[in-house]
Amino acid sequence: MFNRRTIHWPQTIDFMSARTRLWVVGVAAAPLLFGAVATAGPASPPDGGLAGCAALSGTHQLAVGDYQKISAQFASSRWPDLRFSGVAYADFAAMLLIKPGYGGETVWFYERLADACALHGHPLPDWP
């Protein structure tokens, strides 16, 4: 009587030979192995614009020389929105440190740069 019910139970892996089991495990593991090998290649060089966004996200005060270095980082960016808005903001901020003036445009330059940095995954803090 008990054998009649076991017919409908799912079969275990014991019904396969050892060679078949190893083949099934190998076929299942092959995509994982090829995926690990494919991602082990050399990484792309970091983008200068993202490095500039990271440099501006700090809370410390920057000097004129720092803004010139950040401007050079933005100039080497491969994305035109980061390159254009980053260079414009860094040059304008450096100019304001040398020759203080109105500076109302700084907020506009900073917001445009913050939008570009956020678009590429490196959000800047709110305008101080």
Q: So what's the pLDDT on residue 127?
A: 67
Q: So what's the pLDDT on residue 53?
A: 87
Q: So what's the pLDDT on residue 58?
A: 76
Q: So what's the pLDDT on residue 88?
A: 92
Ordered mean pLDDT values, 10 residues apiece, the chain (128 residues): 60 71 80 68 71 82 84 90 91 84 80 90 78
Token readout for 1 is 């009587």
Q: Closest Cα partner for 116 from 61, 56, 60?
A: 56
Q: So what's the pLDDT on residue 8?
A: 66
Q: So what's the pLDDT on residue 84?
A: 93
Q: Closest Cα partner for 70 from 102, 110, 38?
A: 110
Domain ranges of the chain: 2-38, 48-119
Q: So what's the pLDDT on residue 45?
A: 63
